[in-house]
A and B are shown apart, each in its own frame.
Chain A
């Protein structure tokens, strides 16, 4: 099983997200994560999907998604030519005596502490999925309990200014 990151530019119509997720469920494709947000042009929504499957399935996913009426553009965000980021909010159990240790680990990963309470704190961390996975792994190894976690799934863009997709106002 391979993973691929797809960038979709879609018309910001009502129900567009359910059309895309419906396609994945009815054809039995796997979504690892999906994020959506409006672009600089309010008519257009950018969706980043991480999908998994063998080569044939991944090729089918690209073609089937491209066929959807609302989808204006789909392309792969290849690892070498793209940047990906994911945001994670992690609530760790830590009382006064252990708090400083958690903060040290967070500093190494350039994560921020955004909330502190007597029994725990919330860490905000941005990075590649690998970096976040590594951080979570380190917390576990050092015996910290993760009380709650919210991960956004990745958003990504291609590097450089060569391949930007523009739409005319009339489109």
Chain B
């Protein structure tokens, strides 16, 4: 048994069912061993997408996503995907091959100092020096990735370590990490204070972030707000914690958020931020959320509390545990008048879009698409105007909304949707992207054809990098620079080249029928929607 066999055994012990990877000489022992394992190996078409696919897989299964690449360029190609996962606290284990230990540091073929390069984007990284240490390292890596504040962990394994003979395999039962002990249970005194503060509040609001999804606390959170009848808004990462049309949910906050959600946050007297970073896109002026109101900040990462805004009541712990504890408290607060105000805001503070009937209206299309989508479907938005429209108009029922929130990585949606579908073969998965992002990850169409992965891809085609064009419209007085996508391929031919069905929607006239046919297709399918290039998100 060699180091690579040990590695595969460790993955099996961690109940890994699938890896997303791309081979190369320095990781060949791994790809040799995996053929003897039930673990499925999916050959992605560029390494960045292996990390995005593992990301989509992790977010929709609650398991750790695993991606594998070779040394040098394979490893460096992963970096954007790792940074994307780090920004959104997604648990990944990234395995990279490395050149022979003896040659480390001598600039041989395909050598890159990947542990050094990803230093600022990983929760932790390992350079393995002895195959006997692999079981301990793997156990730790999975534990670190999927506990506390989740995040990517990288394991760099020189080829001689993968080939090293190991006498026996024993996987450790538990981890022993002297310095890493995340706080999971919330402090009972603080929990009691939170309840007292909420009881006194006239206008409380809870702002949820991605942390709720990461700690798998959706149910306990919903039970909590429904029992005490507390209104909720969300950050972009918190979309799909609550169903869009839930009577206690008032939408996404921030500069691209819903007016009623922002008003709810501004008028509140007690604000509970939970599993959210108070980052600039959600809260552009953090000092405003501490002025005239009490800020309760709940996060598993104590460093996030007080980073951007000083909270009145900090509460460190895993959201799942905390909401179970909060649920058990006695509660006398009543906020019905405030909820009625908010429901009024939601009805009256509407955004009026100028719609050009010659094109597809992205807002109307997204609404129609979400109505037609299966109840527990997974909707993956890319980055740019399509993302803003998706946040504003996608209606979440019982499904999941995914997007690259923190890093804003273009090209995320297709590989992430691919990973989500692999992890959830019974759920419908739809990716929505622009023509710019599509061309950043369209090589993955081949992966999905090869492995029979059924993702429904909607492409908003406006011939522009729309979000930047819009920014140049407002900030640079229409001096459009490097945003014109002339040269785009005919997507009908792209679909034909991969042998997959294709639909084109020029305006809203046939939207209903086309969407029906598109969603009825079995397997991978493309739908192109022609969008007014001057439309604003």
Chain A residues with a Cβ under 8 A of chain B: 22, 25-29
Task: With both chains docked as a complex, state the minimum distance between the C-beta of B298 and any C-beta of chain A, in angstroms.
Answer: 33
Main secondary structure of the interface of B (DSSP, over half): loop
Report chain A residues within 8 Å CB of B106.
27
Interface size band for B: under 10
User: What is the total of A-B residue contacts with beta carbons within 8 Å?
Assistant: 12
Task: With both chains docked as a complex, state the minimum distance between the C-beta of B110 and any C-beta of chain A, in angstroms.
Answer: 15
Main secondary structure of the interface of A (DSSP, over half): helix
Q: Which of B104, B105, B106, B116 has the most CB of A within 10 A?
A: B105
Known: A22-B116, A25-B116, A28-B104. 9 other contacts (CB 8 A): A25-B113, A26-B105, A26-B113, A26-B116, A27-B104, A27-B105, A27-B106, A28-B105, A29-B105
Measured CA separation A25–B113 after assembly (Å): 9
Measured CA separation A27–B116 after assembly (Å): 11
Task: With both chains docked as a complex, state the minimum distance between the C-beta of A95 and any C-beta of chain B, in angstroms.
Answer: 31
Measured CA separation A25–B115 after assembly (Å): 10
Report chain A residues within 8 Å CB of B104.
27-28
Measured CA separation A81–B359 after assembly (Å): 81
Report chain B residues within 8 Å CB of A27.
104-106
Chain B residues with a Cβ under 8 A of chain A: 104-106, 113, 116
Please give me the residue from chain B that is nearest to A64 by CB atom. B105
Measured CA separation A29–B105 after assembly (Å): 9
Measured CA separation A28–B104 after assembly (Å): 7
Measured CA separation A20–B211 after assembly (Å): 37
Report chain B residues within 8 Å CB of A26.
105, 113, 116
Report chain B residues within 8 Å CB of A28.
104-105
Measured CA separation A28–B106 after assembly (Å): 9
Measured CA separation A25–B105 after assembly (Å): 9
Please give me the residue from chain A that is nearest to B112 by CB atom. A26
Measured CA separation A29–B113 after assembly (Å): 13
Measured CA separation A27–B104 after assembly (Å): 7
Measured CA separation A62–B55 after assembly (Å): 42
Measured CA separation A27–B113 after assembly (Å): 8
Measured CA separation A29–B106 after assembly (Å): 11
Measured CA separation A26–B107 after assembly (Å): 10
Report chain A residues within 8 Å CB of B105.
26-29
Please give me the residue from chain B that is nearest to A28 by CB atom. B105
Report chain B residues within 8 Å CB of A29.
105
Task: With both chains docked as a complex, state the minimum distance between the C-beta of B285 and any C-beta of chain A, in angstroms.
Answer: 28
Measured CA separation A26–B98 after assembly (Å): 12
Contact sample, A vs B, 12 pairs, CB 8 Å cutoff = A22-B116, A25-B113, A25-B116, A26-B105, A26-B113, A26-B116, A27-B104, A27-B105, A27-B106, A28-B104, A28-B105, A29-B105
